[in-house]
Amino acid sequence: MSVEYRELLSSIGRMTGLDSGRARAAAEATLTALARALDDDDRRVLIDALPPELTDDFPMDRPGNDGTEEGIVRQAGLLGRRPPEEARLRAQAVLAAVKEQDPELVARLHIPEQVRGLFQSPESGGGITGPTGGIAPLTDDEIVAALRTLPLWSGNRDGLRRVISLPPENLRAMRKALDGLKVTYGRQPQLHDTADGLEIIVRTASIGAVTAQDVDLARTVDGLIMDLGAGIGRP
């Protein structure tokens, strides 16, 4: 079984609202980034299964990436000239469409477990809603559901907030680590000083609201704080 070009673009369009031209651009960028993360044998398996319309524009063997979810998304964003949060959602749609059309292909590839989440279709809220590539905000119900999984956060559709209490010597290290998310994740939270620590806010500034990617970022922040072992204060 192989991936059919028109069917693939149709599936991407159904999940994202993108027209065929933008769906093709998303597919080219994402599948090139995926191919560059695979070894030579798996790359050949992938290329052989893809329609030639998607394998001609970018060299699929170089430059490589680190094979992580963040690395693939970052490279897809660079190739497609899209911001990280939009590149991630487009990548999910493309890879979910490939898996939907040819699950045996995905099963044959040696895809790291940490990357397999990209093969899940974008969830409602935070997706791409039209040909212009606008990012949809989460609904009130989706915000409530997200906060149930983020007990140290509060907020609404305008932004999610967490407050951490830190001694001054740890505050500098925490700020540096949070600023470093821009490099590894492609996004970073807003930081505001409080009397004894930091207020951390995640939101998508381009639309002035919370998207699915902000929820992911909040979870990343939680993991970072836990790793640093800082003293935490509830919001």
Is residue 97 domain-shared with residue 148, that is, in the same domain?
no
Q: Can you name the residues that pair with 192 across neighbouring β-strands?
A: 199
Residue 81's CB: how many other CB atoms inside 10 A? 9
Cα Rg of the chain, angstroms: 19
User: 51: which residues sit within 8 A by CB, 6+ positions away?
Assistant: 2, 3, 4, 5, 8
Measured distance CA(16)–CA(6) in Å, rounded? 15
**At 178, which CATH number?**
3.30.1360.20
Highest mean pLDDT: which range of 125-139, 147-161, 203-217:
147-161
Say if CB 88 and CB 115 are below 8 A apart: no
Q: Domain boundary at 119, 153, 180, which?
A: 119
Cis peptide bond N-terminal to 63, omega within 30: yes
Tally of structural domains, the chain: 2
- The answer, yes or no, to whether residue 235 has pLDDT greater than 70, is no
With cut-offs at 50, 70 and 90, classify the pLDDT of residue 19: confident
Assess if residue 115 is contained within a domain.
Answer: yes
Assess if residue 90 is contained within a domain.
Answer: yes
- The answer, yes or no, to whether residue 45 has pLDDT greater than 50, is yes
Measured distance CA(4)–CA(49) in Å, rounded? 9
Note down the domain range covering 23: 5-119
**Average pLDDT of the residues of the chain:** 84
Q: Domain boundary at 119, 152, 180, which?
A: 119
Residue 132's CB: how many other CB atoms inside 10 A? 10
Segment 46-69, tens digit of pLDDT: 999 999 999 988 899 889 888 888
Please state the rounded mean pLDDT for residues 134-162.
88
Task: Name the percent of the chain lying above pLDDT 70.
Answer: 89
CA angle 137, 142, 147 (to 5 degrees): 110
Measured distance CA(159)–CA(174) in Å, rounded? 21
Segment 152-172, tens digit of pLDDT: 999 999 999 999 988 887 888
